[in-house]
Amino acid sequence: MKVFYTDRLSTGPLVLRSRELERRGVNAAFTTRLGGVSEGPYRSLNMAFHVGDRPEDVHENRRRVLDGLGIDPERVVGCEQVHGSTVVAVEERPEKGWVSGADGLVTTGPLTLVAFFADCVPVFIFDPVRGVIALVHAGWRGTAKRIVARAVKVMEATYGSRPGDCLAVMGPSIRRCCYEVEAEVIRAMPEVESGWVAAGRGRYYLDLPAVNAAILRDSGVGDIWDCGLCTACDTSTFYSYRAEGGVTGRMAAIVTLGRSGAS
């Protein structure tokens, strides 16, 4: 069973949608790099302002995605993404539209959570019993600090979620096949059953989704789905910071309670 299915929005962008979340009444999507107006290394659906793309192109890309998903931009909340482990519960949209110093957000709605990716692991967490959603940006530093476990703790402490009621879905990211790292990175990783293999010369191939899945299991999360898609293997569909030499666009992970208002 595929974790995501592709959907060409009426406004043009190609996105991936989560079956498991959608059938539980959650509107969750992960953009590809297809269906936008950006040019050069950001071609074509870059969703991030901070990478050097033309702001007017990013605005148009975001408009196409949000309109296609039936999402009100005034309800969208993002996080600063400092490659840390801070997860924040939000009930109202901040004045700036984003939360400083955070790499994860939790809410019960009616807000829409968004984060941006070009190799790091997007993790959607949902508690269907209490109607709580979380979105986590898990790079290697955040993974080393067990950011997904922190998200589960915030859901539990703030809204009374029980880990066993929760499910998690992991979107496209760089995989072990393409992610060679130094020994220092491996030494920083939590003690888990698996997640890396030796590459020789004091280097390793790291599987960030596998490590995050192990952390989620240790946290008591009941169901975990991983899409298995590698951003670095398929740069025709996804942006990859590593595969594209650090100059590229960003995809967006988007999640809100309630089904898409678009057809």
- CATH classification at residue 44: 3.60.140.10
Domain-embedded: residue 262? no
81 neighbors 122 (Cβ within 8 angstroms): no
Domain-embedded: residue 51? yes
| Token pair for 230 | 């590698």
Domain-embedded: residue 263? no
Q: pLDDT digit string (tens) for 206-251?
A: 999 999 999 999 999 989 999 999 999 999 999 999 999 999 999 9
Q: pLDDT digit string (tens) for 92-117?
A: 999 999 999 999 999 998 999 999 99
239 neighbors 118 (Cβ within 8 angstroms): yes
Q: pLDDT digit string (tens) for 51-87?
A: 999 999 999 999 999 999 999 999 999 999 999 999 9
Domain that holds residue 106: 4-257
| Token pair for 209 | 């989704």
- pLDDT for 262 equals 42
Domain-embedded: residue 118? yes
What is the C-alpha separation between 58 and 15, in angstroms, rounded? 16
What is the C-alpha separation between 20 and 133, in angstroms, rounded? 13
Residue 261 has pLDDT above 50, yes or no: no
Domain-embedded: residue 181? yes
Q: pLDDT digit string (tens) for 165-202?
A: 999 999 999 999 999 999 999 999 998 877 899 998 88
Domain-embedded: residue 26? yes
| Token pair for 161 | 């979620």
Phi, psi of 93 (to 5 degrees): -70, 125
155: confidence class by pLDDT, cuts 50, 70, 90: very high
Number of domains in the chain: 1
